[in-house]
Structure 1
Amino acid sequence: MTLTNNPVVRPATETDAGPLIAVLAEAFHEGPLADWLIPDPTDRRTVYYRYFRDALHHGLKHGQVHTTADQTAVAIWYPRLEPTPTDTRERLEALERIAGPYAPKFVLLEEMLDAFHPDEPHHYLAYLAVDPTRQNRGIGAALLAHHHRRLDDLGLPAYLEASNMRNRRLYLRLGYTAGPTIALPTEGPVIWRMWRGTPTSGGRTPFPHTRPRRRSL
């Protein structure tokens, strides 16, 4: 990995939307989850742009979005200090507009992720993306370290889902532990649930016990 010297991390704003949506769509375009959600790469590019446009604007409005000075990376965090209800009817309608015929798998994915989301107060890393031409330079790790320092000051853990082994190894190196996996049905890929606990005298707090919640979009 070629390290980039101390990339400048800053809060993202609406003026960053165009470049950051493109980074998200390109960074997530390849991989087992993408292949499962939308097998056709051309359709995937169109749907992913709409999906990540929605995700970025939602993050700017309801979460905390960080980027770099050159807009080549983005992290979308959500404080989850208590269980967050979802307007299932509104989300279903949004996914049908965004994904069209591919909406059922997006609904299934979001339903599965929500069902296994920990209830313990934490910050949730919904998305971390780096421009594919700038990957393996430590930019993603720098974005994470920026927010991890704040979480340690607040005494809060972090939670995320990794959709491939490469990302899982990165998160393990950065202090996360792996919890029980999620196996998506209909020959879907495995999702690795990851937890970065709060510091203790013996290390960090372990992955919390999670009781699956039943929800239907």
Structure 2
Amino acid sequence: MDRTVRRAGEPDREAVVGLLDRALREDPVSCWVFPAVSHRAARHRRLMAAFVDRALEGGFIDVTVNVSAALLQVPVHEADSRLDGRESGFGVDAPARLREAVDPGNERVELLDRVLATAHPPTPAHCYFTMIGVTPSLQSAGLASALLTCALEQCDGKGLAAYLEASNTRSRRLAERFGFRLHGPELALPGGPVMWPMWRDPSR
């Protein structure tokens, strides 16, 4: 299994979107956003595409060489990191625009983005790991660990903290192994699962 990590670009967009659609379609948060299986099958890919485009626009994506795993990252600078529930780091009312692009009739798309934006720590500057996904058949092959190792080495080299929201107990345990700790209260989605905001200070 090749765990080499490389930086993805626009030519990798469709492969990354497809990977995240397969990897996260049964994630508790995805199931809450799209409760009906048939509707999720039709719309989930659009949600993944929106997050991929955000990362390509304002950050970067690391992948394993054959795009069997991906980590989306967005740098958050202290000067522009204040998020007030209307923004997600991508301009005013980004959650509403996300809903319009993904599933206009589904208020949970917008609500998810607002919950994440409201809980996001405003300071200090840090790298926001917005999403990580691994091909389902390879989820015990160390690919997520390879991506996190590479990304956190880069954060440490720049003296940057890292932040993420774990959407299931498996991803929470993985983050904890890499030094992430709970940062604030659990994020409870109305009538749905909880997410865990997690923070890691740079290793000096």
Relative to the length of structure 2, the TM-score reads: 0.89
Q: Aligned partner of 2:21: which letter?
A: A
**Unmatched runs of 5 consecutive residues or more in structure 2:** none
Q: How does 1:1-217 map to 2 (within 5 A)?
A: 4=1, 7-82=3-78, 83-84=80-81, 86=87, 87-89=91-93, 91-102=95-106, 104-119=107-122, 120-199=124-203
CA 1:165–1:55: 2 relative to 1, 3 Å: same
The CA deviation string for residues 168-212 of structure 1, in whole angstroms up to 9 with x for no partner, is 011111111122233334312111011111225xxxxxxxxxxxx
CA 1:146–1:183: 2 relative to 1, 3 Å: closer
SS at 2:18's partner residue?
A: helix
CA distance in 2 between counterparts of 1:97 and 1:166 reads: 30
CA distance in 1 between counterparts of 2:14 and 2:60 reads: 17
Residue in structure 2 matched with residue 214 of structure 1 by the alignment: none
Report % sequence identity.
29
Is the 8 Å Cα contact of residues 109 and 184 (structure 1) preserved in structure 2?
Answer: no
CA distance in 2 between counterparts of 1:167 and 1:51 reads: 19
CA distance in 2 between counterparts of 1:198 and 1:14 reads: 29
CA apart distance, 1:91: 4.3
CA distance in 2 between counterparts of 1:91 and 1:115 reads: 11
Residue in structure 2 matched with residue 212 of structure 1 by the alignment: none
- How many residues matched? 195
CA distance in 1 between counterparts of 2:187 and 2:7 reads: 34
CA distance in 1 between counterparts of 2:126 and 2:141 reads: 28
Over alpha carbons, which structure has the higher Rg?
Answer: 1
CA 1:89–1:150: 2 relative to 1, 3 Å: closer
